[in-house]
Structure 1
């Protein structure tokens, strides 16, 4: 219109958040490993064999026409299977119609939970070393992640540090047990201490239990929801990406009190619509037909892989912290100062890849700035032949 005032907006550009976002070091090392044809111990892809009952049921579901949207909360069969397994393995009685939500992986579960429970400016405590996706997800919503340091090496929890980190803005505590990257399994005493703090300050406990079946030796997985008085305020997030070696299927779940699950389901639907339909059927068959014997065998298999890699790391001159759970090892590079080049963990990870063809992740990816620079993280959820080759290459450092 002639004479009309032209109103200009901000113009083209990224959001205020985007310039501070960097590519995940895990993804970066995976791409670098692929580029040089290395053995990828960086990313937790879990490329062991898929149980045949799981794979065959997913194929059958495709042939039977289960290829359209499911309900936002997932197929009834899978929700029932999750509820029954949770009661059988953890003693928690769960209503599959009102308290179980099937999600696009545990990552999708965490995203939907955070959208439903937190506002910009809220604070959420998590334990260091932490999983970077937890931190990144919170920051993407303008929620403030507050790291509480675990005791280096033993990964013991200091409850006084937890109390000191709480402010009027604190809304929740994230517990990853068993943890990525340290393999820490929180003890009942530690969880009871956190439960007391959560009740005292009226906080949620968000628990990522994706590695619940990967526990070794005397360690035992306990969900915070199983602690007395914690069922209502605990949000369980887990899935079958790791347990059934189907990380690309994106089948996770949330278990929560019905008063929270409706809002969580809304955001899960908004973000992902539903988890892949045929894969829901495959996972449901696996839960129904694979019981305690399967889970025990899974732990024993990975305990053997753990020992294989721990031995190779020691022979190579690294100092590994032996995990009680999950399938990662943090190892110190302090003894390889003359072998690995670089002043920080990212540079040493690339030096290791160049010298051996084995990809690891910089330990600094799991700590606040300036910490974890002498550490590398290695994943041992690999086929035996690939893990053996990685171990052979690592030993070549010496």
Structure 2
């Protein structure tokens, strides 16, 4: 008898973590993992330090500090145009990945199907698999940054219960338009689908585009779980402070799942985010401008180095086609790039249906780096061709 559970048999360490380890071995520049090693906002650090020095070390409420839930509720109202009761419809989670895991456990049964939109975030796939959920696949057309609606419709079967979207998307960089979300709402109502909307990159959009939360669309509020967090907003990826906003009946069970899995998000770090949410609006605009500069730098460097980047409309990742460089496939390309330029990038197939062959001519790059590091990376990329 195997000592390993069936649900874990085919799960392995992600390419993202594997490339980080390989990059560390050679002292390279990691443009693979979305580590976001930019400075943490001073208010966030101050809030956490004050909490630690003030002895805020015990468990919080399982749903998180009520003060933080109220502040997140205010943010959702002012920025997203959403109204959620902080007592019954919000939970502070261990990152947005924790929010997704808890929402899946609360709403789906083993054998159910859920649509992932390629290219997808790999942790969404593996969380579904661990919960016994069968992923089915739709697609984004990277060349147009548009949903391939026919592929999504074709993926729906008798056991399909939901769809996962990520807007702005990791890794594709697509920002869902109001028209996209209205189409999705009609589809969800027609097929009685739940919507898991990962919006952690909500502040990072370009070209005048504005983030639109799925739950603001008629027909979606009552069937949408909004996943958010502060790893990217405040450059605290290791703190693991996220949130889930959902209808009260779903939240009742998702909060139980969060309690059983994690007990609570780290107390002093919750207080750091609470203080950070007092940052002025200009902070978010400056962040967006900085990432827009990074996007310009890396996409131009990739083009000069022989890649064909798909310029993102949001988030801080770019997918790039390396066909002109002659590398056989994405895995060999990632290792060749690490060898020649000491730059880590993630094989594109990590974001597509396993075994499908899709993404095999793509690499994903993350440009959430301090300017001197990004400048050096861009210099190395330009020298490839």
Report the CA distance between 1:267 and its aligned residue.
0.6
2:90–2:244 contact (8 Å) kept in structure 1: yes
* Equivalent residue, structure 2, for 1:313: 302
The partner residue of 1:91 within 69, 76, 81 is 81
Bigger-Rg structure (1/2) = 1
Distance (Å, rounded) in 2 between the aligned partners of 1:319 and 1:161: 24
- In structure 2, C-alpha distance between the alignment counterparts of 1:18 and 1:95, rounded to whole Å: 37
Equivalent in the alignment of 1:207: 197
Alignment deviations for residues 115-160 of structure 1 (CA, whole Å, 9 cap, x no partner): 1110000000121111111011001111011110222422311333
1:76, CA displacement in angstroms?
1.0
Does 2:290 align with 1:301?
yes
Q: State whether residues 106 and 239 of structure 1, in contact with CA within 8 Å, keep that contact through their aligned partners in structure 2.
A: yes
Give the corresponding residue for 1:371. 358
Alignment of 1:1-398 (within 5 A): 10=1, 13-287=3-277, 289-337=278-326, 340=327, 343-368=328-353, 369=355, 370-398=357-385
Aligned to 2:146, the other structure's residue is in SS state coil
For the residue of structure 2 that corresponds to 1:232, the secondary structure is: helix
Shift of 1:357: 0.6
Structure 1 runs of 4+ with >3 Å offset: none
- Separation in 2 of the partners of 1:291 and 1:328? 25
Q: 2: CA distance between counterparts of 1:255 and 1:231? A: 10
SS at match of 1:17: helix
Structure 1: how far apart are the matches of 2:47 and 2:188? 41
For the residue of structure 2 that corresponds to 1:304, the secondary structure is: helix
Instruction: Give how far 1:380 is off.
Output: 0.3
Give the Cα–Cα distance (whole angstroms) in 1 for the partners of residues 358 and 165 of structure 2: 20
Distance (whole Å) between structure 2 residues aligned to residue 184 and residue 230 of structure 1: 20
Tell me the TM-score normalised to structure 2 length. 0.97
Q: Alpha-carbon deviation of 1:26?
A: 0.4
How many angstroms apart in 1 are the aligned matches of 2:8 and 2:221? 37
Q: Equivalents in 2 of 1:251, 1:301: separation in Å?
A: 23
1:3-60 per-residue CA deviation (whole Å, 9 max, x = no partner) reads xxxxxxx4x5212233311210000000000011000000000000101011111100
What secondary structure is seen at the aligned counterpart in 2 of 1:157?
A: strand
Specify every segment of 5 or more residues in structure 2 that has no aligned partner in the other structure, as ranges.
none
Alignment correspondent of 1:5: none
Deviation for aligned residue 1:163: 2.2
1:226-255 deviation digits (Å, cap 9, x = unpaired):
001321111000100000000000000000
- CA RMSD for the aligned pairs? 1.1
CA apart distance, 1:292 = 2.6
Please report how far the alpha carbon of residue 290 of structure 1 lies from its aligned counterpart in structure 2 after TM superposition. Answer: 1.5
- Checking the alignment, whether the CA contact within 8 Å between 2:165 and 2:196 is kept in structure 1 is yes
CA contact (8 A) 1:159 1:194 kept: no
Verify the 8 A CA contact 1:181 1:366 in the aligned structure 2: yes
Once the two structures are TM-superposed, the CA of residue 367 in structure 1 deviates from its matched residue by 1.0
Report the CA distance between 1:101 and its aligned residue. 0.2
C-alpha displacement of 1:396: 2.0
Q: Does structure 1 conserve the Cα–Cα contact (< 8 Å) formed by 2:186 and 2:219?
A: no
Q: Which stretch of the first structure deviates more once superposed, 157-166 or 72-81? A: 157-166
Q: Name the SS of the counterpart of 1:101 in structure 2.
A: strand
User: Cα deviations across residues 176-214 of structure 1 (Å, max 9, x unaligned)?
Assistant: 000010111011001000001111111111100010011
Structure 2 CA distance for aligned equivalents of residues 41 and 274 of structure 1? 31
SS of the residue corresponding to residue 9 of structure 2 reads helix
